[in-house]
Structure 1
């Protein structure tokens, strides 16, 4: 038992009258005067109020006590020091209300050996939310940004991981800021995950910018939805990674990112990575390296292949992003290597619908670039009206025997 305690409130039908004279208890019990079904148990972990003292054990105890269908409350105006990983083990149908702040330590010696700060593994039903809109999860990543600038081998944890076949997970109406690495990981066969009304920001106070701060990395997870979300970061806004299936993204704004990206795929020799059934509708892409894209490694002795199928990006507004669309098969290697070992990946049913706005001047007059892999390729544009700052637009295409429709292609 930890020195940090929590308050637990349970409403139960027919409490024994003798409890009124019982010895004092750390659990406050209140009768349900309406004689209805028992209400949810509620636990409020008590913070030590000291950033040097770990509040994670108290939170873990609260989850253990109230996780089976109960509610855990992080109260408004209170900051909890997260100096060790918070595991949601024991949460089944639980509600975790964050109205205050959960702030991770910057102890990179500890986090070096832990792959996430908040973990859901094997969780069957959980809602993490802020009812008041005041909840903050602070990754406190500045130390990681500064050290990674001179030590690129530094291991940094994800801010939040969902894995181990977790299902029926909802995370909504929370501000997440400054992760040491990525914001969200979803994979491990997890399914039925909804991210809604989230605000993700990564910013540095030094000259060293945050690195690898992907907003959402969706791996082997299915039926994932991201809605009404804003992301300001320095890497992929959403990355559709190997194994993801049935993912929808609606009404998202991404600033400073590497875009809404499939991949990277086909890195490992002998592997055939798959991404399928992706639908994006409504994206505002501001000052990004690209608005949308597919990143594929070439073939040859160093890499594998990939199959990307039934992917749609629709109603995308480009605002000073370098490319509107960048689909390619030469990721992570030199042009010479890619010429010798072109990708054998397959792009099928890739749809780009109603793209508008203006790119940056970085590649003007080019606004998009599409390179088909040698395996198979069918890419369709509909309603493409993106312009460069010059008021013109050029789309560079390399078909490699595939088809690119709905756009006038230029060879260079």
Structure 2
């Protein structure tokens, strides 16, 4: 048994909140914010029309409530023709009761809505019916790039919840250089193609829970720099699957927990990816993953070909635990577990235990390891780093406990890249047998 900082914390206080380093979420309630000041975008020139550009009205409402208050986007469809940056201020909430609809083309690489340098912030829908519709298919059908949907940068003490993010032209939600945040009760539905990430987190002390994601790329991903991130009760409902990375130069990712992750028809149940680079990813637990009809279970790839090689000998991987997995992959054409590490940098103290995943087609599964040190699968058990020939382990004995409970409303075909995606309701369940940590506001 290996005892690390992370395992000691878990044993002491339990897995649920172990990975967070402090309080998350806004420091004042949305009720107090609304009582201080209400800034309705209709009072700032907003028009409930999906062909009208409401970017100025939303920006003016933000500026009016900048010292504290609630910005209200009421019921109705509101076009957004120009991208907005909502910057500064303290003690704000944004209540989206209507639907924001992309009505302009903007610039690829930017986000339709950026919130930055803000403290004590909440973005939510009191009815749980608010949504952002990106009509990304208009870009995808001509194979072009468009904007992201929502990004937070340098935001402290925040929450995002009770919303639907639908059909972004690029990534759906990105949170970087932020701290003390909670993201929950969200549904993200994007097209089935690469580049349409669900939720990306590169921040510290973040709790991500009770999300459903359908897309063609990462479901919920942690990227550098990141620390003290707890991700749980995630429904990857036909997706690329959960991920760490891609990591590059000066990677700094530590103290991460993924647990209670349900993946169906995903490329990976979990991928950890880099190509060259430097820095480290350490002290992480990946536990209670379950699902079916995925391409593979665990894929740690330090030669990830979808990324250009980054400067450096490789990212150091250390003290990563993969425990208590169950379910099936759709066939045995690729290794169920693939641990491919760099020969030139530490990749040790890995632990694979009780990964009870089997194939839906075929009578055997394989594990492939290269330069990976630790216990379980096909790894070299001796500590250290260095080159060893790729080893393959094949088993033809199905585990006795790989059966799982499935989820309702499973998607069986990828969502369209040439037609609009409907706005779904925010779900009330995200992992078999578990209730969400917070009731939907629309159900209260």
TM-score by length of 1: 0.78
Q: Does 1:218 align with 2:232?
A: no
Q: Alignment partner for residue 398 of structure 1, among 369, 377, 392?
A: 369
Q: Does 1:144 align with 2:122?
A: no
C-alpha change, 1:58 and 1:342, in structure 2 (3 Å) is: closer
Aligned length in residues: 345
Equivalences for 1:260-299 in 2 at 5 Å? 260-266=242-248, 271-298=249-276
SS at match of 2:336: strand
Deviation at 1:95, TM superposition (A): 1.4
Q: Which residue is equivalent to 2:284?
A: 311
Are 2:330 and 2:359, in contact at CA under 8 Å, matched by a contact in 1? yes
Q: Does 1:72 align with 2:50?
A: no
Deviation at 1:284, TM superposition (A): 0.3
Unaligned 5+ segments in structure 1 are 1-35, 204-208, 299-303
C-alpha change, 1:227 and 1:372, in structure 2 (3 Å) is: same
Higher alpha-carbon deviation: 84-93 or 193-202: 84-93
Flag the structure with larger Rg.
Answer: 1
Q: Give the whole-Å Cα distance in 1 for the aligned partners of 2:306 and 2:287.
A: 30
TM-score by length of 2: 0.72
Q: Which residue is equivalent to 1:59?
A: 58
Are 2:97 and 2:126, in contact at CA under 8 Å, matched by a contact in 1? yes
Q: Which residue is equivalent to 1:24?
A: none
Q: Alignment partner for residue 240 of structure 2, among 248, 251, 258?
A: 258
SS at match of 2:87: coil
Deviation at 1:328, TM superposition (A): 1.6
Deviation at 1:257, TM superposition (A): 1.8
Q: Give the whole-Å Cα distance in 2 for the aligned partners of 1:201 and 1:37.
A: 30
Deviation at 1:359, TM superposition (A): 0.5
Structure with the bigger RCO (C-alpha within 8 Å, sep 6+) is: 2
Alpha-carbon RMSD: 2.6
Are 1:286 and 1:318, in contact at CA under 8 Å, matched by a contact in 2? yes
Q: Does 1:195 align with 2:151?
A: no
Q: Give the whole-Å Cα distance in 1 for the aligned partners of 2:253 and 2:65.
A: 38
Report Cα offsets for 1:326-355 as digits up to 9, x if no partner: 112111279xx99xx995432101110111
Are 1:296 and 1:343, in contact at CA under 8 Å, matched by a contact in 2? no
Q: Which residue is equivalent to 1:385?
A: 356
C-alpha change, 1:363 and 1:69, in structure 2 (3 Å) is: same
Q: Give the whole-Å Cα distance in 1 for the aligned partners of 2:194 and 2:299.
A: 21
Q: Give the whole-Å Cα distance in 2 for the aligned partners of 1:310 and 1:37.
A: 38
SS at match of 1:226: strand
Report Cα offsets for 1:254-293 as digits up to 9, x if no partner: 1222221111123xxxx33222111011000111110112
Q: Give the whole-Å Cα distance in 2 for the aligned partners of 1:345 and 1:81.
A: 43
SS at match of 2:139: helix
Are 2:232 and 2:259, in contact at CA under 8 Å, matched by a contact in 1? yes
Q: Give the whole-Å Cα distance in 1 for the aligned partners of 2:211 and 2:164.
A: 10
Deviation at 1:210, TM superposition (A): 4.2
Q: Give the whole-Å Cα distance in 2 for the aligned partners of 1:390 and 1:200.
A: 30
SS at match of 2:36: coil
Q: Give the whole-Å Cα distance in 1 for the aligned partners of 2:364 and 2:278.
A: 31
Q: Which residue is equivalent to 2:82?
A: 84
